[in-house]
A and B are shown apart, each in its own frame.
Chain A
Amino acid sequence: MIQISKLIKTYENGDNKLYALNDISFEIKDGDFAVIVGASGSGKSTLLNTISGLEKADSGSIMHDGKEIFGLNDKELTAFRRARVGFIFQAYYLLPSLSVEANIKMGAALAGNNEAAGIIEAVGLNGKEKRLPHQLSGGEQQRVSIARALAKKPAALFCDEPTGALDEATGRQILKYLIQIQRESKLTLIMVTHNSNIANLATQIIKMSSGKVVEIIKNPEPSDIDKIGW
Chain B
Amino acid sequence: MVTLKSAFKLISVIIITVVVVFICTTFINYPLDLREIEYLITSTEMQEAFIGAQVELADVIIAATVGLFGSIAALILMFSIRQFINQNSAEFGILKALGYSENRIALDFSKFGISVLAGSAFGYILAYLASPAFYGMLASDYELPAKVVFCFRYQVFLVVIVAPALFFSLLAVLYARLRLRKKALDLMNGASEIRINKLTQRLQTKGSKFTFLEELKRTMLSNNLILILFMGFAAFVFAAQVQTAFTVRQLLDNMLMTSTFIISGLIVGSVTLLLALTFLIGKNKKYIAMLKAYGYTGSECGKALFGGYRIVTYIGFLIGTVYQFLFIAFIIARAFDNVTVKFDVFGFFITLSVFIVAYELIILLYKRRIAKIPLREIMQA
Contact = CB atoms under 8 A, between A and B. Distances in A.
A129 B297 CA distance: 26
Given A97-B223, A132-B204, A114 B212 contact: yes
Interface in A85-115: 86-87, 89, 91, 93, 95-99, 101-102, 105-110, 114
Given A97-B204, A98-B219, A110 B294 contact: yes
Given A97-B219, A109-B211, A152 B381 contact: no
Interface in B179-224: 193-194, 196, 200-201, 204-208, 211-213, 215-216, 219-220, 222-223
A81 B215 contact: no
B380 to A, nearest CB: 10
A218 interface: no
Contacts of B286: 93
Interface in B209-255: 211-213, 215-216, 219-220, 222-223
B357 interface: no
Residue of B211, B215, B286, B381 ringed by the most chain A CB atoms within 10 A? B215
Contact of B293 (A45, A87, A96, A114): A87
B213 A109 contact: yes
Nearest to A114: B211
A176 to B, nearest CB: 25
A130 interface: yes
Interface of B: 193-194, 196, 200-201, 204-208, 211-213, 215-216, 219-220, 222-223, 286-287, 290-297, 371, 375-376, 378-379, 381
A134 interface: yes
8 shortest A-B CB distances, which residue pairs? Answer: A82-B295, A105-B212, A97-B219, A99-B204, A109-B212, A81-B295, A93-B290, A97-B223
Nearest to A129: B207
A54 interface: yes
A111 to B, nearest CB: 10
Contacts of B215: 98, 102, 105
Interface of A: 45, 49, 54-55, 74-75, 78-83, 86-87, 89, 91, 93, 95-99, 101-102, 105-110, 114, 129-130, 132, 134, 152, 160
Nearest to B201: A132
A114 B287 CA distance: 20
Contacts of A108: 212
Nearest to A79: B295
B221 to A, nearest CB: 10
B91 to A, nearest CB: 21
A146 to B, nearest CB: 14
B216 to A, nearest CB: 7
Nearest to B193: A96
A196 B297 CA distance: 36
Contacts of A81: 293-295
Given A49-B379, A91-B381, A109-B211, A97 B295 contact: no
Contacts of B193: 96, 134
A119 B297 CA distance: 24
B294 A82 contact: yes
Contact of B204 (A54, A78, A102): A102
A130 B295 contact: no
5 contacts: A95-B290, A102-B204, A106-B216, A108-B212, A114-B211
Nearest to B205: A130
Contacts of B213: 109
Nearest to A104: B212
A95 B292 contact: no
Nearest to B213: A109
Nearest to A130: B205
B297 A78 contact: yes
Nearest to B219: A97
Given A109-B212, A109-B213, A101 B378 contact: no
Interface centre among B196, B291, B293, B376, by most A CB within 10 Å? B293
A108 B215 CA distance: 13
A98 B204 contact: yes
B212 A99 contact: no
B333 to A, nearest CB: 47
Contacts of A45: 379
Nearest to B222: A97
A98 B210 CA distance: 12
B216 A95 contact: yes
Contacts of A101: 207
Nearest to B197: A97
Nearest to B207: A130
A102 B293 contact: no
A109 B295 CA distance: 11
A99 B193 CA distance: 16
B207 A99 contact: yes
B290 A96 contact: no
A106 B220 CA distance: 15
A105 B215 CA distance: 10
B188 to A, nearest CB: 16
Contacts of A79: 295
Nearest to A116: B212
